Structure 1
Amino acid sequence: MSTIDVTRDRKTSTATTAGRDVIYRTRGRGHGEVFRLMSPSDLGEQLKPFVFLDSFGGVMSEFAASGGMHPHSGIGTVTVFTRGDVHFDDPEAGSGYIGYGGVEWMRAGGGVWHGKELSSGKSERIHGFQLWLSLPAELELAPVDSQYVEASDMHQVGPAYVIVGTHGGVTSPVRAPAGVNYLLVTLAPGQRWDYTPPPGHTVGWLALSKGSLAGSASASNGELLIFSEDDGMIALQGGPDGAIFVLGSAIPSPHELHLGYYSVHASAEGLVTGERNIQVLKEQLFSLGNRQRASGSTPIYRG
């Protein structure tokens, strides 16, 4: 497994009142408005339980038309939108719109097929992030659990929506594993904001969707920053045009990553079981034919 050394710029001192140091930055790889910022075989190995991050943008109807049903197991997926919105329509979850501050959460666990549960919303163009979390051993083969939470049902603390975890005394409704925080933040031009992670959250990073950051953690649109491995605060300041970004912090995962094509597991045995379940689900799914709903979406297939 190839990895990227994110320690080469680390300073020997721990965090100070100025906040944690930026030790690595990248723009990932991609083209147009779709970029892979983190993969399980590179930065995900250092940032686990955060193992995958895509920044995507474009016309939602084109995404919906080109995207196909595909499987996952062993992970949780978290999808947020920084611009525009999408429509969801699922027999088990109802229907509605996910825009800025809302979230689609899916615990793939023992195996699932998805990829067409979202369709065009009220806006033509969208931008967002899809994040994968590696699940702990006790959940890597758990039953599938999915949620679509609109912004009106999410909690906001200052400039941050609490997408996953607990921050500022409030807890997200998303049923994600403990020990992980994931925030969606907007800073006005020049606005200062200090994020103090819970104890033990030595993994810390952010990815910028729009605008820029000034100060010691300066960044421009499209960059992913990784912070030093301590649980001190992260000090941030909006640039001249403000900033919209996602920020993650977590207790490091103790598990080695076991990688399949669409799956990440905490154990080799879990990966074998998850991929076997995926194959069984594939045979069942394709026997059902076209399941597209009137909205244009196709529900998640949980078996």
Structure 2
Amino acid sequence: MTLLQRPLPDIASGVIHETTTDRAISYRTTGSGHGAIVRLMSPSDLGHLIKPFVFLDLFEGESSFINGMPMHPHSGIATVTVITEGNLRFEDTDSGSGMIDYGAVEWMRAGGGVWHGKEMSVGTSKRIQGFQLWVALPPALENASVDSQYLESSVMPQVGPARLILGTYQGVQSPVRAPAGMNYLLVTLPAGESWTYVPPSGHTSLWLSVSRGSLAAPGVVMAGEMVIFEPGSGAVTLKALHKDTVFVIGSAQPHPYDLALGNYSVHTNPQALRAGEAKIAEIGARLREYLKKPNESASVPVFK
């Protein structure tokens, strides 16, 4: 399959009828590193361009680095964690325990406020690689109750070479309880193979990031890069180059709200942000009291 299909001219009419037009890349970044974590996008930079997608980290290293993750708060957003290599164990009061590996997902809708960070631990693999994505929530959910899901790979739907993490694609729906209007897929393409992503109607925001291998998109996208496509409704054809390539791709209807930013929070307006940060402070006080008490278990539950 060619990367850019151009029509033959209609000689009789002098008009060129386009059949397929792939989207051009408008921004690309390799982010900035922080140990095992590379921050590819923040709400204060590229997140403004493709909201509701507002934050993206690529993490890679010895699995033990997860033990150093501190408890931290969020409000106004949902976090989405997928593993592209290796595995992590989850343990949650409501969801039980299990393994997050390739194709599985941790979904945490922070809503009005939550503290978390110790519900994931080292699994059976020595190394891990994956992405954490934040999505901005609409007003009806940004100060709502917390909702979390830990879904193992066996229950996540496959559409061609893609695992459907969020949204609906080609008649298939993800079991993640995410707001409508956004898709997020984890894809592995064998070397030399192509795949075309056709965004649903209204999904004018489109981006992807490669964790292993390289893609022609068109234009080469290397491992560790994130690219944003020009706004529009057109499809994009992607080809794995010299080896199997793993990447995530997201599309969405635009988030029609400003981003009111806190240290760990993203809301649609200053009032909602103040409410979220007040809730975070209240929960944080309860968490500190909990941590003062002797506890036979090393795990710390999600505080909400």
Please, what TM-score do these two structures have when normalized by structure 1?
0.91
Query: Aligned residue for 1:214?
Result: 216
Look at both structures and tell me which one has the larger radius of gyration over its CA atoms: 2
CA contact (8 A) 1:105 1:147 kept: yes
- Number of equivalences: 286
**3-state SS, counterpart of residue 140 of structure 2:** coil
The alpha carbon displacement at 1:18 in A equals: 4.0
Query: Aligned residue for 2:277?
Result: 275
CA contact (8 A) 1:104 1:149 kept: yes
CA contact (8 A) 1:217 1:236 kept: no
Query: Aligned residue for 1:8?
Result: none
Query: Aligned residue for 2:161?
Result: 159
- What is the Cα-based RMSD across aligned positions, in Å? 1.5
Partners of 2:268 and 2:23 in 1: CA distance: 29
CA contact (8 A) 2:217 2:236 kept: no
**3-state SS, counterpart of residue 66 of structure 2:** helix
The verdict on how the C-alpha distance between 1:96 and 1:48 changes in structure 2, with shifts beyond 3 A counting, is: same
Partners of 1:74 and 1:300 in 2: CA distance: 16
The alpha carbon displacement at 1:60 in A equals: 2.1
CA contact (8 A) 2:90 2:98 kept: yes
Amino acid at match of 1:135: L
Partners of 1:292 and 1:237 in 2: CA distance: 52
Structure 2: which 5+ runs fail to align?
A: 1-17
1:40 aligns with 2:40: no
Partners of 2:299 and 2:213 in 1: CA distance: 32
The verdict on how the C-alpha distance between 1:215 and 1:131 changes in structure 2, with shifts beyond 3 A counting, is: closer
The alpha carbon displacement at 1:291 in A equals: 8.4
Amino acid at match of 2:26: I
Structure 1 segment 1-303 matched on structure 2, within 5 A: 17-64=20-67, 66-214=68-216, 216-289=218-291, 294=297, 297-302=299-304
Amino acid at match of 2:50: L
The alpha carbon displacement at 1:191 in A equals: 0.6
The alpha carbon displacement at 1:33 in A equals: 3.8
Structure 1: which 5+ runs fail to align?
A: 1-14
Partners of 2:251 and 2:168 in 1: CA distance: 11
Amino acid at match of 2:65: E
CA contact (8 A) 2:191 2:243 kept: yes
The verdict on how the C-alpha distance between 1:174 and 1:293 changes in structure 2, with shifts beyond 3 A counting, is: farther
Identity %: 54
The alpha carbon displacement at 1:58 in A equals: 1.1
Please, what TM-score do these two structures have when normalized by structure 2?
0.91
The alpha carbon displacement at 1:265 in A equals: 0.3
The alpha carbon displacement at 1:31 in A equals: 4.7
Amino acid at match of 1:263: S
